[in-house]
Structure 1
């Protein structure tokens, strides 16, 4: 390949890199007003411009924007959509990292070893900055909502005649720190009254509260999260409704759905049903351990394993990498919820998952 096309690639990559850094710099400057991060991004952008000044003057001569096929592809593709500021940040961090990797490879092809090492160093700086940016932009509850072992779900028809309020109180006393409200057959008023009380209880115990399906209800009661399914509103639409502070979970049943969830900006995914379950109506066939193992190895999102998980099989789920596990009737249907929770945690502890 002659040098000219390589310089054309470097010109496009340099522009993409510095444009992405400028977007991030402005975002950190004006949204959280983080002076340190904004300054770090600005310094990196200036450093890249300085170190590539000679290269840029040659690269721009190879520019041919009018005949760039990428422009045609972009113009004829779907319109760009972002579900919030965190989504914008992720997209631009990836843009910068990918551009720097491309610059690194082209510098190697042009026998520019010092620039090659410089671009590699910049890329690793951006990896570190990305973590700091997301920690700044994404509220702690969204990042850490699955930092617990048991994900409990209400199920009034499987609660031995006890109310959801009573069951949730017993869950809290058992040190369960994440509860989802899932009641399909109650009236809107009943759901609202129960969720309002459960929100108060969970807040008193320092626990997280998620509402299933209903983003409006989650907003009304001040829930920490809303969990949606594949046939519900898309994550981007829900994010527009609930804002930046509420976590959004999405049920997934296949590698394709998990990849789409990652791209959509979901904060966590449900992985299942692992086993056959009758707790939820209209549920799909069990996905088994193959899909669970795929998520563990390939999807960098927090996840909760769900579906048909009981005391007798939870160890099989845990040993395959599930750190947060959902149990429904095993807990709501237990005569002694505290005792059942201890039994579950003893099993997990024996698998080396809890200390």
Structure 2
């Protein structure tokens, strides 16, 4: 074993921890200044809020360089029932061409062989740096050589999925609380999804919307990327990202209209514009 490489990695971890701890100190101080500023003047409070958002943006950029360099900013969830069979390949290509950074294939009812056939087709379409993730099914993810798998609280345990997939594959976990998010990170998740942030009909059993405050709360306790999900659209992306989300997961925001490419393009632009605010304010 290369002892030098091990020491370098340990040093890298120390740097990550030091940066993260100091960012948190700065953000806590800025939050206090924002609250105090509001007492003196709404304008002053707003200025401190913008400064705090600038710090969040800087922290995200640095974390992207220090941790796994995966871009979860626009995470599109699709399935065969959302796209007509004859235009499936074309529409997935449009979504990718217009800014999606992750494509997840979620098939809850299809027989294994049909699911696998679609997954193999998707694997040919989705090329790096865009990530291809399979929902729930570790076996399908292996068979189609997907980049990883996304599992829920009732699916295969994360540790078992990691043992099967290996360290090189991405594993994401659906969470609905700070405790679940912390547990997912502890068990080795590469990212977590948290939600529902806003009201959604896509997954009605996940409970009432938690609001953007859950994002800020979870970000206080985890280091891995956080993808916000649930009712996110053009009108609330900015609030979601300002709360600290590293990315947004969408279904209806892309598929409810006829032009999936245009919908994706608008979402991608809104994400870029929101993330760039910190350098323009």
**TM-score bucket (shorter structure):** 0.7 to 0.9
Number of residues paired by the alignment? 231
Gaps of 5+ in 2: 19-64
User: CA separation of 1:323/1:353 partners in 2, compared to 1, >3 Å: closer, same or farther?
Assistant: farther
Distance in 1, matches of 2:94 and 2:149, equals 22
User: CA separation of 1:304/1:353 partners in 2, compared to 1, >3 Å: closer, same or farther?
Assistant: farther
Q: Structure 1 length as normaliser, TM-score?
A: 0.59
User: Which residue is 2:101 aligned to?
Assistant: 177
Equivalent of 1:196, from 105, 120, 124?
120
Distance apart, 1:316 and its partner CA: 1.5
Distance apart, 1:163 and its partner CA: 4.8
Equivalent of 2:190, from 267, 289, 297?
267
Equivalent of 1:344, from 264, 267, 270?
267
User: Which residue is 1:98 aligned to?
Assistant: none
* Cα contact 1:229–1:251 (8 A) shared by 2: yes
Deviation per CA, 1:26-85, whole angstroms, max 9, x where unpaired? Answer: xxx1xxxx35325x48xxxxxxxxxxxxxxxxxxxxxxxxxxxxxxxxxxxxxxxxxxxx
Distance apart, 1:337 and its partner CA: 2.1
More helix by share: 1
Q: Note if 1:327 corresponds to 2:256.
A: no
Distance in 1, matches of 2:4 and 2:146, equals 32
Q: Structure 2 length as normaliser, TM-score?
A: 0.73
Distance in 2, matches of 1:258 and 1:297, equals 11
Distance apart, 1:198 and its partner CA: 0.3
User: CA separation of 1:270/1:192 partners in 2, compared to 1, >3 Å: closer, same or farther?
Assistant: same
Q: Which runs of 4+ in 1 moved over 6 A?
A: none
User: CA separation of 1:280/1:160 partners in 2, compared to 1, >3 Å: closer, same or farther?
Assistant: farther
Distance in 2, matches of 1:253 and 1:161, equals 33
The DSSP-based 3-state class of the residue aligned with 2:254 is: helix
Gaps of 5+ in 1: 1-28, 42-88, 94-123, 132-139
* Cα contact 1:304–1:326 (8 A) shared by 2: yes
Distance in 1, matches of 2:13 and 2:271, equals 37
Q: Which is higher, the Rg of structure 1 or of structure 2?
A: 1
The DSSP-based 3-state class of the residue aligned with 2:146 is: coil
Greater relative contact order (CA < 8 Å, ≥ 6 in sequence)? 2
After superposition, residues 219-258 of structure 1 pair within 5 angstroms as: 219-258=142-181
Distance apart, 1:160 and its partner CA: 6.5
Distance in 1, matches of 2:217 and 2:183, equals 14
